[in-house]
Amino acid sequence: MSQPGFLQRLKFHFFNFYPPYFGAGIKVKALNKERTLFSTTMKLTPFNKNYVGTQFGGSLYSMCDPFYMLILMEHLGSGYLVWDKAATIRFIKPGEGTVRAEFYIPKEKIQEIKEETDRKRKMDITFTAQIVDVKTGKLVAEVDKVIYVRKKLKE
C-alpha cells in the first residue's frame, strides 16, 4: 500500500472518534482501496435509543450524512465545490438491533458527474442509501441525499 493511500485511509478512521458519531455508537467500518465505498454500522445502545426503545431516527440519518459528498470531494478534487444540498429519510421498520449502511459511487459514475459538471458548470445528483438490520437483512430506512456539484471558476 502506498504511503498517501495509507494516510487517506487513516484519516477516514478518525470518524469513529468524531463526537456525534462516537456518542451515537456509529462506526465507520470500511473504506475500499479506491475510496469509492464506505460502510457504517450502529449498535442499539442507551445513547441512541428513542422513547419506544428502537433506533433514534436522528442517529439513523446521522450514520448516512457525509459519505456521498466525501467520495465525490475525494475524486473530483479542489477544482470542484461539493455540498450536501438536501436529504430525505423514509423509515420502513423500527431499528431494533445493529444496523448497517453502505455508500458507493462507481468510478464510471464519478466520471459521468465530472463530465456533466464540466459541460453545465453545476448539477444536483441524488443518491439513495439503505439502512438494513444486520441480523435479519431487512430494510430499516432509506436516505436520499441530494449532492450539489459545481465547477469552481478560475481566479
pLDDT of residue 59: 95
In a domain, 84, yes or no: yes
How many residues comprise the chain? 155
Looking at residue 120, its amino acid is: K
CATH number of the domain residue 140 falls in: 3.10.129.10
In a domain, 15, yes or no: no
pLDDT of residue 79: 93
Please give the residue range of the domain that contains residue 65: 20-151
Which residue is it, cell 467500518? 29
Whether pLDDT at 71 is above 80: yes
Q: Give the model's confidence band at 15: pLDDT under 50 very low, under 70 low, under 90 confident, else very high.
A: confident
Domain total for the chain? 1
Quick one: which H or E segment has residue 85? strand 80-91
Q: Which residues pair with 18 in a beta bridge?
A: none
In a domain, 65, yes or no: yes
- The torsion defined by the Cα of 35, 149, 146 and 45, in degrees rounded to 10, comes to 40
In a domain, 1, yes or no: no
Set of cell numbers at residue 146: 441530494
Average pLDDT over residues 65-79: 92
In a domain, 41, yes or no: yes
Average pLDDT over residues 97-114: 97
In a domain, 75, yes or no: yes
Q: Give the model's confidence band at 20: pLDDT under 50 very low, under 70 low, under 90 confident, else very high.
A: confident
pTM reported for the whole predicted model: 0.88
Set of cell numbers at residue 28: 465507520
User: 47 or 18, which is more confident?
Assistant: 47
